[in-house]
Each structure stands twice: as structure tokens, then as C-alpha cells.
């Protein structure tokens, strides 16, 4: 593998001129440029990025901390992030943290080790020591699941409003007992969604019943378990609101196994609008999130941070949409 010296020798110029031709060609005479380019070609030269980065103190890498890659929602976020990163000449260092703080911290440290220029965290945990003063915090953006009152820029959804909208929708359909299957207890997402759920009930003059809330962890299985608890109640809910589509699909399986029909016997709603939501039977009423946009926005903001450009708004809120499909319908009269 050839190096810059080899190219310089071939072109009959100095290494500095080769470097300039590659980084800022406009500062080199066209004829010199051509000779250098010819030499680059001839030597099939590729700059050693390690050396470039080492010297210029920029890695072009962005760390992205993902709680669960296998979750289709996050897969879409990553996909959006990757596109934006690539467009901006950055690469994505992927880390499946499984929600473990030690792993998150370890990967975030890659920034300190000059292995990455910034961090995107998709979970509500600050991987940097709280003792670090805000001023010399490395570039980091917190997206999707956002730390309430955190010190980093965020990109989030108004989860309170989204959960409220869905609950209102179910109430408008005549439902009075609405079960809620929550996500992981550690996630502020679920706190916000619970608030939205409560707000809608209150607004409609309905009493909040703690028995109608059960805890899950965003997996298919959690939805199944949650639904089986709900269905076992003597006065069971007529509608079930799951905090993500995976759990809703898990719940659907359980409901069917009990010989009940959706939506005739019980209405069902999800959250996220994963591709599968439109393909299950019946198609799922859910909250659509712009997953790719989370990734794109996060990368854009992070790069601004890295370039020390001013950020127009530190807390971006992306829009949601209530997507009505067949899984939620008017409550049957008894």
C-alpha cells in the first residue's frame, strides 16, 4: 500500500502539495493538481484514514447506543440515522446495549478515546458522568426515549399528548373501562403515556382504576401476559391500549386464544405503527411515529454540535398521528 510520499515522488512535488491537492484542491495550480491526481491513480493511492483522523483530530464516527436492535422501531431509527450519517460523510458505530448502563457508558467513552466524534443515545440514561461540567461535555444527542429535564439536546415525541389522543379516541368509541399495558418500568416513556391516559380519563369524567394498568416490557410476550391478566378480571376492560405494537400483537394472540374477537368483544390499540401493524388481523389502530426522522434529526443535530454550530432548538418534538384501523371499534351495547 502506497503512501503520500510515494505519490509526491511520482508527481515530482512535495508531500504538502499532495495533501493540499486532496484536501483543498483550489489552493493548487490546475496543472500541478493534474499531475498529482495522475500519480494518485498510478500508485493506486488511498489516504490512510487512521493517519488523517489522528492528525486532524476528527474521526468521522458517530456512536449510536440502541437498547434493542431487534426491535423494528429502533431498526427504522437506525436506518434513518445511517442514511443521514452517510450523506454527511460520517459512519455509524453501532452498539446494542440491551439497556445496560455499563455497556452504554463503555461505548460512550469511545468519544474520550478519540474513536468517535459524538454519541446518540436512544434511551433515557446519561452515559456521561454527572460530574462533568456541561461546558466540556462531549457532543451527545438524546433521542426517542428522552431523559426528562436532562442536560442534552433531545428529539422526542409528545408521549403525553399521543397517549391522551389514543385514550380519547377509545373513549369516543364508547369505552369506559380501558386497560393499559405499560412498557418497561424504567422508561420515562411509560410515565408520560400513563399521564396522557389519565388526563384523557379525567377529562371525560372517568375514574382512574389502578387495576386496569399492568406492567410489561415492550415484548410480544409481555403483551400476551398482560392481556391474559386483563381478561381474567371479573369486570374486564372493553378496550386495551398497549404501549407498543409488539405488545398489542402479543395481546391479540392471547385474546384470540381465549375465544374472543377483536374488535367485537374487545378493542385493541398499539403504539409505534410498525409495518406489521397493518398486516395483523385485524389491522392495528395505533400511534404512528416518524421513526426514520428520529434517526435523521439526531444525526443532524449531533453534527451541528460537533461543528460547534448553534442549534436552532435544543428540544425538538416530532409529530405523531393517530392511525385508525380496524382493531378499535365502537363498544358493543350489553
**Nearest residue to 218 (alpha-carbon basis) of 290, 295, 270, 278:** 270
Question: Angle formed by the axes of helices 15-23 and 4-11, to 10°?
Answer: 100
Q: Which is nearer to its own copies, 80 or 196 (CB)?
A: 80
By CB under 8 A, the residues from 271 to 310 that bind its own copies are 275-276, 278-281
Is 70 a residue that touches its own copies (CB under 8 A)? Answer: yes
Q: Which is nearer to DNA, 52 or 206 (CB)?
A: 52
Tell the smallest beta-carbon distance from residue 90 to DNA (Å): 17
Q: Which is nearer to DNA, 14 or 148 (CB)?
A: 14
By CB under 8 A, the residues from 117 to 176 that bind its own copies are none
Cα angle for residues 243, 247, 250 (degrees, 5° grid): 155
Which of 6, 15, 69, 137 binds its own copies (CB under 8 A)? It is 69
Q: Which is nearer to DNA, 15 or 206 (CB)?
A: 15
- Cell numbers representing residue 75 in the block: 431498526
Is 326 a residue that touches its own copies (CB under 8 A)? Answer: no
Q: Partners of 35 in the beta sheet?
A: none
Q: Which is nearer to DNA, 17 or 59 (CB)?
A: 17
Q: Which is nearer to DNA, 13 or 66 (CB)?
A: 13
Residue 297 in contact with residue 311, Cβ under 8 Å? no
- Using CB under 8 A as the binding criterion, the count of chain residues that bind its own copies stands at 48
Question: Residue 159 and residue 177: Cα distance in Å, rounded?
Answer: 21
Is 14 a residue that touches its own copies (CB under 8 A)? Answer: no
Question: Residue 203 and residue 216: Cα distance in Å, rounded?
Answer: 26
Tell the smallest beta-carbon distance from residue 102 to its own copies (Å): 12
- Cell numbers representing residue 246 in the block: 409488539
**Could you say which of DNA, its own copies, none residue 94 binds, taking C-beta under 5 to 8 angstroms by partner kind?**
its own copies
**Could you say which of DNA, its own copies, none residue 228 binds, taking C-beta under 5 to 8 angstroms by partner kind?**
none
- Pairing assessment for the beta strands 118-121 and 267-269 based on DSSP bridges: unpaired
Tell the smallest beta-carbon distance from residue 199 to its own copies (Å): 31
Write the DSSP symbol of residue 239.
E
* Binding residues vs DNA (CB under 7 A): 3-5, 12-20, 22-23, 27-29, 31-32, 47-48, 51-52, 54-56
Interaction pattern, residues 88-107, with its own copies; x per rule: CB under 8 A:
---xxxxxx------x----
CB within 8 A of 246, min separation 6: which ones? 71, 72, 218, 219, 220, 223, 272, 274
Is 1 a residue that touches its own copies (CB under 8 A)? Answer: yes
Question: Phi/psi at 41 (nearest 5 deg)?
Answer: -60, -50
Q: Which is nearer to its own copies, 66 or 171 (CB)?
A: 66
Q: Which residue has 380519563 as its cell numbers?
A: 201
Tell the smallest beta-carbon distance from residue 132 to its own copies (Å): 11
Outline where the chain has alpha helix (H). Answer: 4-11, 15-23, 30-42, 49-56, 72-87, 101-108, 159-172, 188-203, 220-232, 245-257, 291-306
Distance spanning both ends of the chain, measured CA to CA: 79
Tell the smallest beta-carbon distance from residue 44 to DNA (Å): 12
Q: Which residues bind its own copies (CB under 8 A)?
A: 1, 46-51, 53-54, 57, 59, 61, 69-72, 75-76, 78-79, 82-83, 86, 91-96, 103, 109-110, 112-115, 220, 249-250, 252-253, 256, 275-276, 278-281
Amino acid at each position: 500500500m502506497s503512501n503520500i510520499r510515494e505519490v509526491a515522488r511520482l508527481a515530482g512535488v512535495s508531500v504538502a502539495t499532495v495533501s493540499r491537492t486532496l484536501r483543498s484542491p483550489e489552493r493548487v495550480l490546475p496543472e500541478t493538481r493534474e499531475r498529482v491526481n495522475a500519480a494518485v491513480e498510478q500508485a493506486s493511492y488511498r489516504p490512510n484514514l487512521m493517519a488523517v483522523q489522528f492528525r486532524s483530530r476528527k474521526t468521522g464516527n458517530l456512536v449510536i447506543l440502541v437498547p434493542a436492535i431487534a426491535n423494528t422501531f429502533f431498526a427504522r431509527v437506525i436506518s434513518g440515522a445511517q442514511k443521514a450519517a452517510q450523506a454527511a460523510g460520517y459512519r455509524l458505530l453501532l452498539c446494542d446495549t440491551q439497556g445496560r448502563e455499563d455497556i452504554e457508558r463503555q461505548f460512550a467513552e469511545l468519544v474520550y478515546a478519540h474513536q468517535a466524534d459524538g454519541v446518540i443515545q436512544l434511551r433515557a440514561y446519561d452515559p456521561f458522568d454527572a460530574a462533568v461540567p456541561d461546558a466540556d461535555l462531549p457532543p451527545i444527542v438524546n433521542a426517542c426515549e428522552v431523559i426528562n429535564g436532562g442536560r442534552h439536546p433531545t428529539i422526542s415525541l409528545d408521549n403525553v399528548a399521543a397517549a391522551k389522543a389514543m385514550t380519547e379516541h377509545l373513549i369516543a368509541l364508547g369505552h369506559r373501562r380501558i386497560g393499559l399495558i405499560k412498557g418497561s418500568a424504567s422508561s420515562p416513556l411509560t410515565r408520560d403515556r400513563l399521564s396522557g391516559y389519565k388526563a384523557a380519563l379525567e377529562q371525560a369524567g372517568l375514574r382512574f382504576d389502578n387495576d386496569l394498568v399492568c406492567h410489561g416490557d415492550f415484548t410480544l410476550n409481555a403483551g400476551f401476559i398482560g392481556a391474559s391478566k386483563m381478561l381474567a378480571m371479573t369486570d374486564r376492560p372493553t378496550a386495551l391500549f398497549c404501549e407498543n405494537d409488539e405488545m398489542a400483537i402479543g395481546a391479540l394472540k392471547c385474546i384470540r386464544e381465549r375465544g374472543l374477537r377483536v374488535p367485537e368483544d374487545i378493542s385493541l390499540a398499539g403504539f409505534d405503527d410498525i409495518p406489521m401493524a397493518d398486516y395483523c388481523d385485524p389491522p392495528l389502530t395505533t400511534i404512528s411515529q416518524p421513526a426514520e426522522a428520529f434517526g435523521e434529526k439526531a444525526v443532524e443535530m449531533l453534527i451541528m454540535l460537533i461543528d460547534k454550530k448553534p442549534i436552532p432548538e435544543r428540544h425538538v418534538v416530532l409529530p405523531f398521528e393517530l392511525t385508525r384501523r380496524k382493531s378499535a371499534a365502537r363498544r358493543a351495547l350489553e
